[in-house]
Chains A and B, each alone.
Chain A
Amino acid sequence: MNALKEKVIKSILSITAFASIAFLIGIVVTLFANSLTALKGIDQIQFLFSSDWAPYYSPAEYGILSMVISSALIGITAALVCIPLGIGTALYLNEIAGSAQRKILKPVIEILAGIPSIIFGFFAMAVLAPFLQNIFDLPSGLCILTASLTLGIMTIPVITSIAEDALGFVPIGFKEASYALGGNRWQTLIKVTIPAAASGIITSIILAIGRIVGETMIVLMVAGGSLAIPTSILAPARPMTSTIAAEMGEAAYGSLHFSALFEIGLLLFFMTFILNFISERISKKYRLKLGQGR
């Protein structure tokens, strides 16, 4: 009887575990299958290196360069916001904050992590965009900077939580050894603790960037939506995700336009896949490095 019960539980658990793999394969296959029309029907050089995107013209044009550049620019600018803030917060929590401050800060960061991105979008539209419009005297506050600041703030908790874990995981013995050799707090932090946690910190950064590049709602709301190649971070832009979200509803099912949107999705998928792969490799190396401290 017990043996049977165990068998049942085991098979249920393995089904749930393999379900994720099935979903992943399903997604990849769907992306590929739906991209096929575009892969065959659009000159791929044109697709990647032209910035003329005009699916409703005839002949229609499908060049995604400006979207790729916009995505990259937003990703980089947002990273410049969330990396220093996220890591700074993690270092503060780990090294400086007393238990009272931790008790306040940690839940606040968790709440920040739980806010739906559309709420951030509202905030950006209502507060940030008008503010930046005023400061920089822009025709519209909806631009790369607005989107980047919002995305950067939104991803602070991604970095903080993982980086703080990594810092906390550094064995106390390393720090004691540094202090016992005459190292002060900053030398210990910079030369011992941070390097020992480096891979975890890098992983957190890569995951945050992946999150930024894949985020749709905020960029759709506040990036401005222009298809011109952005010339500055104060210019409006339309990254890859926005285009998909904005046009998917209108594109005729099975059309070239429809398929081209899928191909953008395929590209995004590979970009985030590569980011995840890199972070996985780094964190594996990190576990090995620390795990061997017999």
Chain B
Amino acid sequence: MSDEIKIKVSNLNFYYGKMQALKNINIDIMDKKITALIGPSGCGKSTLIRIFNRMCDLVIGAKAEGSVIFDGENILNSSIDIVKLRQKIGMVFQKPNPFPKTIFQNIAYGLEINGCKDKSFIKFKVEETLKKAALWEDVKDRLNDSALGLSGGQQQRLCIARALAVEAQVILFDEPCASLDPISTAKIEELILELQNNYAIIIVTHNMQQASRVSDYTAFMYLGDLIEFGSTNQIFTVPKNPKTEEYLSGKFG
């Protein structure tokens, strides 16, 4: 197993207008590893991962400083190709958000908007990614049914498949199980563990058990600061910072 850095964040500051949401963040995201982001509500977890795929651009008045190196480029540069970036760094949201289209079209979408017209390739990709997302057996006979007819957990797996179809290398999960039942949650966790063999994964979660179950590294954030970052094992057993310990023992948050 390689210990390769996939995303290197240095001295990252981020502002929503005048409000500073991230303060001098330094963190290395490892390839083929799962990194968990934890911390109380409003500490900047979503903000941080939305910088990685530049979804933060959608907020008017948002501004980022510092460097986030991915594939040898600072993705904060205005010159980078956002379409390519977003395809390489996929995102799965808190609330499953498949398009109100068929299951097939949901996966084909990312390929089609990128100009892919090869029908047989799209078909191949749909099958391949649904298999990777452990959804193929559930839906292979109803690819042309609306994706909205799937259960919440299935919808979330479809959203994962959708991100995989455009050749993502990194997948950002923002509380992917927050709206799911325990069984669906277990399936998604299993899938995330599976995906780690080929992808760099970052997962935001409020569920400490989940963080300790799935992740290799854990970052604890508080009020826009990255308080502590280390192996999940270390963070959960011998946290160095008293704040981390307080949070993990449920004293706040």
Interface residues, chain A, with chain B CB atoms under 8 Å away: 171, 173-174, 176-184, 187, 191-192, 195-196, 289-290, 292-294
Within 8 A of A (CB), among B98-125: 98-101, 109-110, 113-114
A158 to B87, CA, bound (A): 40
A35 to chain B, nearest CB (A): 44
Given A182-B84, A192-B99, A289-B100, 10 other A-B contacts at CB below 8 A?
A: A173-B97, A181-B110, A181-B162, A182-B83, A182-B86, A183-B109, A183-B110, A196-B100, A292-B149, A293-B148
Total A-B contacts with CB atoms under 8 angstroms apart? 78
A174 touches B91 (CB 8 A): no
Known interface pairs A171-B97, A294-B96. Does A178 touch B148 (Cβ–Cβ under 8 Å)? no
Q: Which residues of B contact A191 (CB under 8 A)?
A: 109, 113
A-B contact pairs, 22 of them (CB 8 A): A174-B99, A174-B100, A177-B93, A178-B109, A179-B55, A179-B58, A180-B53, A180-B86, A180-B91, A180-B93, A181-B90, A181-B110, A181-B162, A181-B166, A183-B109, A191-B109, A191-B113, A195-B100, A195-B101, A289-B146, A294-B151, A294-B152
Residue of A nearest to B96 (CB): A294
Query: What distance in Å separates the Cβ of A184 from its nearest Cβ neighbour in chain B?
Result: 7
Instruction: Determine chain B's interface SS by DSSP, over half rule.
Output: helix
DSSP majority for the A interface?
helix
Contact call B87/A292, Cβ cutoff below 8 A: no
Within 8 A of A (CB), among B40-68: 53, 55, 58
Contact of A180 with B90 in the complex, beta carbons under 8 Å: yes
Contacts of A174 in B (CB 8 A): 97, 99-100
Contact B155 A294 (CB under 8 A): yes
B95 sits at the interface (CB 8 A): yes
CB-CB < 8 A to A181: which residues of B? Answer: 86-87, 90, 109-110, 113, 162-163, 166
Complex contact A294–B97 (CB within 8 A): no
Chain A neighbourhood of B152, CB < 8 A: 294
Q: Which 6 A-B pairs have the closest CB atoms?
A: A173-B97, A181-B110, A182-B83, A180-B91, A182-B86, A182-B87
